Structure 1
Amino acid sequence: MSFKTLAAIAGAAAILCGCATAPATPPSTAAVAPYAAALSLTGRLNARYLKDGKQESVTVNFTWKQDAQRTDVALATQFGNTVATIEVTPHGATLREGGNKPPVSAPSIDALSARVLGWTLPVSGMRSWLQGHAIDAQGKPWTASPANSEVTTREGWRLRYTGWQEGAAVPRPQRFDAEHPGSGDIQEMALRVFVEHVEYE
C-alpha cells in the first residue's frame, strides 16, 4: 500500500473521528409560548394500556377545539369513521360514540372515557399539555422547553416532550408521551400524541 493511500485513509479516519466527537448543539432553554385559552388543532393519538391482563392498543386521528369554557374533541379512524365525539364544559362531560348509540354524560371525562371507550383520555389535562404547560406533582405551574421536557403532573401523569414544531418563533410542542400507572381495570396507560396543525385564536 502506497504512502499516499495510507495518508488518505488516515485523513478520512481523522475526519470521521472529528465528526464523531464534535460537540452536539445543546437543547434550547427557551420556554414555550404562554398558555392560550382558545385554539383548534388536528393530530394523531395512540393509546396503549393493559386491561384485564391483556395489552390493548388503539390509534385515532383527532380534531380538538377549546375556548375558556369548553372543549370539543372528535376521534376518528384512519379511514375517517367517527369513533366518538366529546364535549367537556364546567358542568360535566358528554361522549357520543359513532353510530346511533345515545350520548353518555358524567362529571369527569377521564372516568367517562375509561368506561365507554375502554381507555382514559385526560381532556382536562391535555388542554394545557398540548401547549407545553402542566401543573407538577407539587401543585406548581410547569412550562416545557426543549431543555426541560419532562414532568410528572399532580394527577400522576408523566409527560415527556419528544418533538417540536419547525419554524416556530418560540418552541411549540409537536409530539409528547403521557404515561400513567392507571387504576381499576385499566393499567399502564400510555398515550403518544402528535400535533399536525394548530391555530391559536
Structure 2
Amino acid sequence: MTRPLKTLTLISVVLLLSACAAFRPQGGQEHLQDRLSELEHWQVRGKMSVRTPDDGATGYLDWQQQQREFDIYIAGPLGQGATRLSGDGHSAELTLPGWDEPRSAESPEELMLLYMGWNFPVSDIRYWVKGQPSPRGDAVTTYDESGLLSSMEQYGWEIHYSRYSQQNGFWVPGLVKVSGYDFRFTFSIREWTLYD
C-alpha cells in the first residue's frame, strides 16, 4: 500500500470512529438512570419469546404503559392465540386463548402464578424493559463505556441489554433478555413510542 493510500485509510478510520462516537450517549451512569425515571408513558412493539422448562412460544408484542397502568397484548402468528394482561396498581386482568372472559386478581403476579404457574415479577418489568433496575429492590448492575446498562441481576433474575437507540432524548434498549428459575424471556423491540 502506498503512503498516500495508507494516510487516506487512516484518516477514514479515524473519521468513522469519531462519527460512531458522536451517536453514543454522553454523561455518567447516574445521569442516564435519572433520565429513564422520567419516562413513564410509553409503548413498545416487537416480538416476545418465552422458554419454560416444559414449553416455548413466540408472539407479537404490543405493550402500553402509563405510570402504573399497563396493557400487554401478545398474539401468535396471524393473530392466533392472543393473550392480554392489563391492570394498574390495584388490580389486574388476564385473558388467555380460549377464554370467554378475563380472570382478575389483585396483582399481575398473582394471575401469572395462578393460571400459568409462573412466579415472575411482572410489576418490575416495566423498569427492566427500559434498561433500568426496579426501585423496589437492590440490583447488581454492569454498564458499558457509554454509561448504558449492559446487564443486571435483581431478585435472582439476570437481564442483558443490547441494541440501544436514542428516542426523544432517551436511550432505550432494543433487545432485552431475562433469565432465571429455568425461564427465559426475550423482548425484541422493533419500535418505541415515547409520550413523555
Q: What is the TM-score of this pair, normalised by structure 1? A: 0.69
Q: Is 1:47 equivalent to 2:41 in the alignment?
A: no
Aligned counterparts of 1:148 and 1:129: Cα–Cα separation in 2: 10
AA at the equivalent of 2:162: T
AA at the equivalent of 1:45: M
State which drifts further: 138-147 or 101-110: 138-147
- Name the residue aligned to 1:109: 108
**Relative to structure 1, is the Cα distance of residues 122 and 81 closer, same or farther in structure 2, using a 3 angstrom cutoff?**
farther
Aligned counterparts of 1:85 and 1:136: Cα–Cα separation in 2: 25
**Relative to structure 1, is the Cα distance of residues 29 and 44 closer, same or farther in structure 2, using a 3 angstrom cutoff?**
same
Aligned counterparts of 2:143 and 2:105: Cα–Cα separation in 1: 31
Report how many residues are paired.
171
For residues 133-144 of structure 1, the aligned pairs below 5 Å read 133-135=132-134, 139=138
Offset, 1:196: 1.0
Offset, 1:168: 7.5
Aligned counterparts of 1:40 and 1:176: Cα–Cα separation in 2: 15
- CA contact 1:45–1:192 (8 Å) conserved in 2: yes
Aligned counterparts of 1:65 and 1:92: Cα–Cα separation in 2: 16
Q: Percent identity?
A: 19
- Name the residue aligned to 1:162: 162
- Consecutive unaligned residues of structure 2, counting only runs of 5 or more, are 2-19
Q: What is the TM-score of this pair, normalised by structure 2? A: 0.70
The Cα offsets for residues 61-81 of structure 1, whole Å up to 9 and x where unpaired, read as: 111111123111111002112
Q: Is 1:194 equivalent to 2:188 in the alignment?
A: yes
**Relative to structure 1, is the Cα distance of residues 167 and 38 closer, same or farther in structure 2, using a 3 angstrom cutoff?**
closer
- CA contact 1:133–1:142 (8 Å) conserved in 2: no
- Name the residue aligned to 2:97: 98
Offset, 1:174: 0.3
The Cα offsets for residues 65-99 of structure 1, whole Å up to 9 and x where unpaired, read as: 11123111111002112521111211121111234
- CA contact 2:59–2:74 (8 Å) conserved in 1: yes
Structure showing greater radius of gyration is 1
Offset, 1:172: 1.6
The Cα offsets for residues 9-63 of structure 1, whole Å up to 9 and x where unpaired, read as: xxxxxxxxxxxxxxxx99977536423111112121111111xxxx411111111
- Name the residue aligned to 2:173: 173
SS of corresponding position for 2:185: strand
The Cα offsets for residues 144-196 of structure 1, whole Å up to 9 and x where unpaired, read as: 6566411111x322111132237875532000111121xxxxxx011111111
- Consecutive unaligned residues of structure 1, counting only runs of 5 or more, are 1-6, 8-24, 182-187
